[in-house]
Amino acid sequence: MPLCKGFTQGGSNADIVLADAFVKGLIEGTDWATGFKAVVKNAEVQPLDWNVAGRGVLTSWKSLGYIPTDDFHPYGGVISLGHTEDAAKYLQRSDNWKNMYKASQVSLVSNTTGHPNTNIDSGFAGFLQVRFLNNTFGFQDPSFCSPLYNFTSCYLNAKSHETYEGSSWMYTFFVLQDMSTLVTTLGAPDTFVKRLSYLHTSCLLSTSQASSTQHATVYQETMTLAQ
């Protein structure tokens, strides 16, 4: 790709596309051994300028266990290609979202847009939270960076915060690689659906960002698990 490509999305989401094609059997005429090497490189080697492309801060993520969903995608390919040791490593990493989940964290939200000055208990507990180098939890209001509270505060700028283009309310549902465990963690199917519906009906969710496009389909995932 030429260096004049301009702005690009952060992360290494090509891993997801490759993994999806592989598990769906789109393998004819494709060099998946090379594809596997590329996906592993994305998971292991930090690019010089990860603000432009790729995954950053890999050293901290690997040492602390705060690893994003992309590590699940090498798992499917490496297990099929016979790399059992690598498969075990990436499957374990993909489970590390639990390391940033704080079960006791509650969320008080406003029924109007803007800074919440009239807070209402959402009735739900357990959200992804900030975590420091010493493994203690910090705090970012779960509704912060939602349409209800400082919506434009979570971007790559001087006033950015701990989440990107969305709130902890939104990202707590972002465990696409293991929805069954997430449903159980958040309180089984009935409670999970109530919480998901609250996200959609309380103005906490904006579907204008790429990170929120899957939330509508989570309903179907939950129905499948409940059957």
Residue with tokens 């707590």: 172
Claim to verify: residue 104 and residue 86 sit in the same structural domain: no
Does 32 share its domain with 124? no
Residue 45 has a pLDDT of 80
State whether 103 and 26 are in the same domain.
no
- Given 94, 124, 149, the domain boundary residue is 94
Q: Are residues 109 and 213 in the same domain?
A: yes
Contacts of residue 61, Cβ cutoff 8 Å, sequence gap at least 6: 67, 68
Of the residues 70, 94, 118, the one at which a domain ends: 94
- Same domain? 112 vs 213: yes
Which residue range(s) make up the domain with 219?
Answer: 99-226
What pLDDT is stored for residue 110 in this prediction? 74
4 located within any domain: no
- Residue 68 tokens, joined: 């994003």
Whether 72 and 144 share a structural domain: no
Amino acid of residue 2: P
The total of structural domains in the chain comes to 2
pLDDT of the residue at 44: 79
Considering the domain boundaries, does residue 18 fall inside one? yes
The domain boundary, picked from 94, 114, 139, lies at 94
Instruction: Give the mean pLDDT per block of 10 residues along the chain (227 residues).
Output: 56 77 80 83 75 65 57 49 66 82 91 60 93 85 87 68 82 87 89 91 83 78 63
Q: pLDDT at position 82, please?
A: 52
Q: What is the pLDDT of residue 188?
A: 83
Residue 153 · residue 224 · CB < 8 Å: no
- Ramachandran category for residue 30: left, alpha or beta (phi over 0 → left; psi -120 to 50 → alpha): beta
Asked if 45 and 114 sit in the same domain, the reply is no
Q: What is the number of other CB atoms lying within 10 angstroms of the CB of residue 47?
A: 15
Same domain flag for 172 and 74: no
The span from the CA of 211 to the CA of 155, in Å, is 13
- For residue 54, what pLDDT is reported? 66
Whether residue 144 is found in the same domain as residue 175: yes
Any domain includes 117 = yes
Helix (H, G, I), strand (E, B) or coil at 182: helix
Interatomic CA distance for residues 123 and 183, integer angstroms: 17
